[in-house]
Amino acid sequence: MTATAAGLVVGVTACSSGSSDSGAAADPNKPLVVAASATPHAQILKFVQDNLASQAGLKLDVKEVSDYVTPNTSVQDGSADANFFQHQPYLDDFNKKNGTDLVSVETVHLEPLGVYSKKVKSLADLKDGAQVSVPSDATNEARALKLLADNNLITLKDGAGTAATADDIASNPKHLKIKELEAAQLPRSLDDVDASVINGNYALGAGLKPASDALAIEKAQGNPYANILAVKKGHESDPRVKKLAELLHSDAVKKYIADNFQGAVIPAF
């Protein structure tokens, strides 16, 4: 864990409601502490907080985090009540590797993964031996490799699934050099690599416009990587969590996503 991530753990813990209640026994009058990536998750939550929560009788406390570990560890240790930043394959992998027992409450949106470059205008322009950075966490690396395969840059071995790594590349006609980096570092890597496969939220945070800047982008149809609202197992019946899930599936949130992200974030409901 980086120093930044460690600091964020402290921040979430210090500012949380210290909720130890579970499920229906949770105090509905306490703020619901939700750890979320800044873009677009915290933005969506703050829209709910500013426009919908009060009328629904929900108090929200949104804690922004900048990594993919802190929000899960915070929910597991009770310093946050829920999180909103990940998709189901990542959560499954995290639970398996860390012994956590977090579960999905609702799917909310999809952020298409995209391939970006400052050095070429199309994937066809990538030269032999080009360096391509991808997310280093297991499920997002597999997802990035699938995107490269879907665009005929590589092929993957039969059976390579949501845990695929560079070792599962079956053919690599352009001899691409795959560089694994922590997801938050990918936008910064664009100056050093020929292309990068970047998660939607980090692309947005770096000022990239997936709909126009990406050389290739994931298709939404049949995509299993919709982002979810997650809690510790047993807390699904917390009335505050249920209320937030309802609000996240509202027409107002659907319109907010469509108006503000122009296809870079797509409602999954």
| pLDDT digits (tens), the chain, 269 positions | 322 333 333 345 434 444 445 566 678 889 999 999 999 999 999 999 999 999 999 999 999 999 999 999 999 999 999 999 999 989 999 999 999 999 999 999 998 899 999 999 999 999 999 999 999 987 899 999 999 999 999 999 999 988 899 999 999 999 999 999 999 999 999 999 999 999 888 998 899 988 889 999 998 666 788 999 999 999 999 999 999 999 999 999 999 999 998 778 988 88
Say if 3-112+224-267 and 114-217 have the same CATH topology: yes
Class of domain 3-112+224-267 as given by CATH: alpha beta
Task: Say if domain 114-217 classifies as CATH 3.40.190.10.
Answer: yes
Helix axes 70-77, 3-15, angle to 10 degrees: 40
The full set of domain ranges for the chain reads: 3-112+224-267, 114-217
* Sign of the torsion angle spanned by Cα atoms 63, 68, 74, 76: positive
The reported pTM is 0.72
User: 217: number of CA atoms within 13 Å, CB side?
Assistant: 19
